[in-house]
Structure 1
């Protein structure tokens, strides 16, 4: 009887944990990281005490909620860096990170945060930004990426891309693709062989 009761308690505890994580993922994606723990508890239909028993701090919950997205982000960057053509690798990173950005506002908030309490994200952020900086350097050496690009320019694009969450859900993917294309066009090194008509007289 005790064993059966213990098993039921474990199942109940796991169910609560799963519901908390599911609620957190939805709310973080929709509203960003400002959503409160009590609101997450209400969405998960558990009491605040149950939530804090499973996740003592909000950062613990953030780390767990975005574990899958963090792996996806790492894979995007790793695949981009592995591309033999550094410019094409850079282009793929911008497109895919922008798409991830528009789908999950909270993840990008967590990833670009400089909050020292976000230990897991801070270490990943430093490593991935280092990888991206090296990819950018290779693309600059190849003459494809503009010489004055710095990695913070990409962070600015991600920050600006958060505004795409105001677009209706049905149009977000198209808006994200267009936004990424415009950013990539701005990052591309100018074609020095092209005729510069900026200062040509009119008429």
Structure 2
């Protein structure tokens, strides 16, 4: 699947007929509220709560988004579009190791700061064709990045594409909340992981982000 074909498929999934000004304003307000609530509380936020916070009736919300999956897809479309662009740029980066590291760092940063996005990234989430297609494209693109980094001799040979799930699960666990401490802890964890992925152990590792004070008991109790 090429980036161009992926972009076309994404646009087809999200294309909708033009709305009246008031209807468009309602739709935009619903999406703005959904982004905030999904980021803070995850995808279990009731549709009625989103409608109430957006100042619209539940019937209005369902006219714009007939199912919860429709709302989730529209809410995270911009983030997935950003990811598609990021992967496309990484695959043509002349420095394969930089491309590999940049994708891991950026995806983990988005995941750490948004509980909803963490759930959307999960392969176990029941999604729409658009979400399934986007996740599939991410994996295909990551395979290219892994192969290029190995061929350049920068990524350890035993790294597997499947390790991406391991990275995301570990990162999602340490950043179970959306607090500043969780985001900072995620950055430090990712730096440790990237250092472990290097093929040449004689290289001087990059400086780690500052350590973060985390309450171990709190982290366990609040884990995802």
Q: Same fold (TM over 0.5)?
A: yes
SS at match of 2:20: helix
Kept in 1, the 8 Å contact 2:115–2:177? The answer is no
Q: CA deviation at 1:79?
A: 2.1
Q: CA deviation at 1:192?
A: 7.9
2:119 and 2:164 map into 1 onto residues whose CA distance is: 14
1:130 and 1:121 map into 2 onto residues whose CA distance is: 14
Aligned mate of 1:49, from 41, 46, 59: 59
Aligned mate of 1:16, from 26, 35, 46: 26
Kept in 1, the 8 Å contact 2:38–2:114? The answer is yes
Kept in 1, the 8 Å contact 2:40–2:178? The answer is no
Q: 2:184 matched to 1:174?
A: yes
Q: CA deviation at 1:54?
A: 0.8
Kept in 1, the 8 Å contact 2:155–2:199? The answer is yes
Q: CA deviation at 1:180?
A: 1.4
Residues paired across the two proteins, number? 185
Structure 1 stretches (4+) deviating beyond 6 angstroms? none
2:129 and 2:139 map into 1 onto residues whose CA distance is: 15
Mark the runs of 5 or more structure 2 residues left unpaired by the alignment: 1-18, 204-224
Alignment deviations for residues 88-146 of structure 1 (CA, whole Å, 9 cap, x no partner): 11011111111111122212321333446421011111112111111101211222112
Q: 2:110 matched to 1:100?
A: yes
Q: 2:79 matched to 1:63?
A: no
Q: 2:196 matched to 1:186?
A: yes
Kept in 2, the 8 Å contact 1:102–1:172? The answer is yes
Q: CA deviation at 1:157?
A: 1.2
RMSD: 2.3
Mark the runs of 5 or more structure 1 residues left unpaired by the alignment: 1-8, 194-203
TM-score (norm 1): 0.81
The structure whose Rg is larger is: 1
Q: 2:97 matched to 1:87?
A: yes
